[in-house]
Amino acid sequence: MSEEYEYDDEAEEYYAIRPNKTQLKKDMAVLFALSEEMSELPTGQLKLLELPEIINKAVVEASGMPHKAARKRLLKFITGQLHKMDIEPILEKLSRIKNKSAHAVREHHAVERWRDRLISDGNDALTALLDEQPQADRQLLRQLLRNAQKEAEAGKPPKSSRLLYRQLKELFQVEGDLDDDSGFESEQEIE
């Protein structure tokens, strides 16, 4: 009788584990949100994602559609295509695009604050700027500042104020480029 109850290794059965339905829905919702986000990107930024041709074509088409049922169906198609592939590289590139955009906005606001401070405070603010940015063209900045202040007092269109903004933006971009280059050199030295 003991032979009857012996454990048979070969008779062991395996059952397929069904995926968690709730988790699948959450994953698809994340992919759907990603497809919506990609459809709102400008064409230039979309090219940076280096999507497969079929997905890229669908995203471009969805970006031009009104927010109605056909667009939702197309976004579901994109979601299904994304579900079949590894999306980590896409998420990484999208994150870089967002960070770059956020950095550009911060830079824009900083330049605007400097321009407004220069126009309102005059030479005191210019001295502070020149202390911070010794490579700046002093004479050009003084001239643009004088002209911007005269325009503001006379109520004229802010032509010199715009020129002052452009000059400050170039000045801060040069500083940012120098910081980027020095960081790049230090990374190479480490390797």
What is the pLDDT tens value at each position of the chain, 191 positions in all? 455 655 555 666 677 788 889 999 999 999 999 999 999 998 888 998 999 999 999 999 999 899 899 999 999 999 999 999 999 999 999 998 888 888 888 888 989 999 999 888 888 888 898 888 888 888 999 999 899 889 888 888 888 889 989 998 888 876 655 444 433 333 333 33
Residue 170 and residue 115 in one domain: yes
In this prediction the pTM is 0.54
pLDDT at position 160, please?
Answer: 87
In-domain check, residue 8? no
Residue 47: what are its φ and ψ, rounded to 5°? Answer: -65, -30
What is the rounded CA–CA span in Å between residue 36 and residue 56?
Answer: 13
In-domain check, residue 42? yes
Q: At what angle do helices 88-121 and 138-154 cross, to 10 degrees?
A: 70
pLDDT at position 177, please?
Answer: 52
Domain of 66 in residue numbering reads as: 21-88
Residue 133 and residue 78 in one domain: no
CATH of the domain at 136: 1.10.60.30
pLDDT at position 105, please?
Answer: 87
pLDDT at position 70, please?
Answer: 93
pLDDT at position 75, please?
Answer: 95
In-domain check, residue 16? no
Tokens of 123: 């030479």
In-domain check, residue 2? no
